[in-house]
Amino acid sequence: MRMNRKRNRGFTLVELLVALALAGIVSTAIYNIFFSSNKVYVEQEQVVGLQQDLRAGVDLMVREIRMAGFDPDNIRIATGTALGLVEATRDTIEFTFDTDGNGVAETIRYAVTGGNLTRNGEILVRNVDALGFAYAYEQGSDVATTPAPPAGNRNIIWVTGTAALNRSLDTNDDGQIDAGDTAGGNPVAAVTLDRVRAVRVWLLARTERTDSQFSDSRTYVVADRRVTPADNFRRRLLTTTLRCRNLGL
């Protein structure tokens, strides 16, 4: 009988406290793992969504800018006005073409409005920090500058501006527009928009929410600007160069 009473005894208070403490430690560890994993998942989901939006926006811009001046029905002859670039600034581009061949010119305008990339006022990419354009123009049949580039600089000259495209961006003569170049560059002669032959595009955007564990200390090159946010947003910068196949025909 004594053996049965010992065998049926419950847990002592000390045993219960130890068990509760161990359960608390395990639960806390599980919660921390779940919280960290969920945080990483949300952050990566934001970055992936940002990259997809950026690619979609830049791809559409590239396709349409490349078609600037497309005029299969010779609207130029009928109206006396050539299709092509209408406005070309450091952060805005507007152009005309006739992509559907109906004899009617379409006007497309890309700009940043209210912190978003817009196409004719419609939002394409949200949370845009900067949009940049640079333009290469030609002298004769070659992409060059007018007059000839400064001594030692024989690369394509990329410029920004509106009526007067007057800034050389590749100041260190390495064929790239990057942080090694001096903003502003060397002045070159003004040119007209009908002589632009290539366009370079930059689009810098950020995630919708901040990440308290992340600090963005990078300096981003966007055309002739340097953008240093110094905040907790994650960012992506897409850059591409395209030749306008229908300009100068």
In sequence order, the β-bridge partners of residue 122 are 119
For the purposes of burial, counting CB atoms within 10 Å of the CB of 94, is it exposed (0-12), middle (13-18) or buried (19 or more)? Answer: middle
Characterize 157-176 residue by residue with b for buried, 16 or more Cβ atoms within 10 angstroms of its Cβ, and e for exposed: bbbbbeeebbbbbbbeeeee
**Best-predicted range by mean pLDDT among 86-95, 140-149, 172-181?**
86-95
Distance spanning both ends of the chain, measured CA to CA:
109
Q: Which one-letter amino acid corresponds to residue 84?
A: G
Q: Is the pLDDT of residue 206 over 80?
A: yes
pLDDT in tens, 99-115: 888 888 999 999 999 99
pLDDT bin (cut points 50, 70, 90) of residue 155 is low
pLDDT, position 148: 47
For residues 243 and 197, is the Cβ–Cβ distance under 8 A? yes
pLDDT, position 95: 96
pLDDT bin (cut points 50, 70, 90) of residue 152 is very low
| Stretch 200-218: mean pLDDT | 91
Q: Is the dihedral of CA 120, 124, 129, 134 positive or negative?
A: negative
| Alpha-carbon radius of gyration of the chain | 29
For residues 133 and 152, is the Cβ–Cβ distance under 8 A? no
Q: Which two tokens stand for residue 19?
A: 């068990």
pLDDT > 90 in the chain, percent? 39
Q: Is the pLDDT of residue 37 over 80?
A: no
